[in-house]
């Protein structure tokens, strides 16, 4: 009976670990209010495209390498970014584990983050 009870505890613990989802480590640089659960989080890969709006780094996130290609990992990272008040994720390369969390300096209504950046006058 005692072994059976121990096995139940072990299986329950393993089940909880499996349900906890991907591990995402966050390192905020500034304190911002969280964004809503349905707020868009833009993903940029430096090798492919840069944000079209002026931006600043507000922290970083880290998950298992290659996380953008796995739906559950990407959703977990996006949730962490929203909780940090970020609007976008900037990866060096798609297979990187760590990425910068960014926020745009101009309101989205004034610029398109997905539009190619333009040279500034002046």
CATH number at residue 86: 3.30.1660
11 domain-assigned: no
Range of the domain at 87: 22-110
In the structure encoding, which two tokens stand for residue 25, read together?
Answer: 């480590």
Share of the chain above pLDDT 90, in %: 58
Residues 33, 34, 38, 43: is their CA dihedral positive or negative?
positive
**Helix and strand counts by DSSP (H, E) for the chain:** 2, 5
Predicted pLDDT at 33: 97
Phi and psi at 118, nearest 5°, equal -110, 155
- Asked if residue 22 has pLDDT above 60, the reply is yes
Contact by Cβ (8 Å): 45, 93: yes
Average pLDDT of the segment spanning 79-83? 97
63 domain-assigned: yes
122 domain-assigned: no
Predicted pLDDT at 17: 41
User: Coil, strand or helix: which one is 102?
Assistant: strand
Instruction: Give me the number of domains the chain comprises.
Output: 1
9 domain-assigned: no
Predicted pLDDT at 52: 86
Local confidence band at 43 (pLDDT 50, 70, 90 cut-offs): very high
Q: Return mean pLDDT, the chain.
A: 82
12 domain-assigned: no
In the structure encoding, which two tokens stand for residue 18, read together?
Answer: 């499996």
14 domain-assigned: no
117 domain-assigned: no
1 domain-assigned: no
């Amino acid at each position: 009976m005692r072994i059976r009870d121990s096995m139940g505890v072990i299986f329950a613990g393993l089940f909880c670990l499996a349900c906890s989802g991907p591990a995402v480590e966050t390192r905020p640089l500034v304190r911002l209010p969280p964004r809503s659960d349905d707020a868009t989080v833009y993903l940029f890969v430096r090798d492919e495209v840069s944000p079209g709006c002026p931006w600043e780094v507000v922290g970083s996130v880290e998950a298992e390498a290659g996380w953008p290609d796995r739906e559950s990992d990407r959703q977990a990272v996006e949730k962490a970014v929203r909780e940090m008040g970020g609007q976008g994720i900037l990866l060096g390369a798609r297979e990187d584990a760590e990425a910068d969390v960014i926020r745009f300096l101009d309101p989205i209504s004034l610029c398109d983050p997905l539009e190619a950046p333009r040279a500034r006058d002046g």
